[in-house]
Amino acid sequence: MKIYGKDYEGQSPSWIFPRTTTLSDGDLRSNLNALKKHYEAGGKLYVEITTGARKGTIGELIIPSFELDDVFTPRAKTGMGERRSCKVKTWQLKFDDRKTTVNIGVSRYDYDWKGVLRFGAAATTWVYETKERPKVEPIKLKDHFGVKLEVGQVVLFLHGKANDYENRFGKVKRISDKGTIWIEAFRTREHHKAEELHNGIFARDLFVLDGDLRDKAMKARLSL
């Protein structure tokens, strides 16, 4: 479809429905009126999604109104001139053979999707493909003395803020594949609060409390 000689086929939907714009009211009305005539002649406005899991999806764009003041806010002064903003914060695509619609949000900066206008689509197309996440080999972590860290181990660790550190005891609750450690701290003093900790705790600063801890400490001392 052409408006004033400009072909909108294959262009971003923001050409007709910009999130915010300095276009004159005359230009905005011309776009909406041309689109209205397209619908009155039996045409429809389709959007083809071009990225993500829905790449290749073609849906009919649900247009709430062809009236300027229904679609755009009143013009307001900004640091970049007088602007109108699109009132629609969530667009919808509908399909011929299903009740499901695809919601398209509009973020602070632009549409939360990438798509192009299609005026001559014969039918809608539903596509949704998920990609398998690549398997990540879990990081093998070891404590200060080289003991393999595992969930359920009781450990000694240093916790606190600058100039206010203390030794705490706790249990390893979870270890992510990327090596983040979650430790549930024990309450061993009155001012302690039982809580899950994970910021700033490194495997090399942990001590697994087992029967050999004393011997390992002495061996380390003698080896230096």
Q: How do residues 71-81 score in pLDDT, each as one tens digit?
A: 999 998 877 77
Q: How do residues 1-30 score in pLDDT, each as one tens digit?
A: 666 567 778 888 877 888 888 989 998 998
**51 pLDDT above the threshold of 70:** yes
Which sequence spans correspond to the domains of the chain? 2-118, 154-223
Which of 56, 62, 63 minimizes the C-alpha distance to 114? 56
Q: Report the predicted TM-score, pTM, of the whole model to 2 decimal places.
A: 0.54
Task: Report the mean per-residue pLDDT for the chain.
Answer: 82
Tally the C-alpha atoms within 13 A of residue 202's C-alpha that lie toward its C-beta: 4
Which of 65, 84, 79, 76 minimizes the C-alpha distance to 26? 84
Alpha carbon 96 to its chain's center: 29
Rounded to whole angstroms, the Cα distance separating 46 from 44 reads: 6
Contact residues for 74 (Cβ-Cβ < 8 A; gap 6+): 84
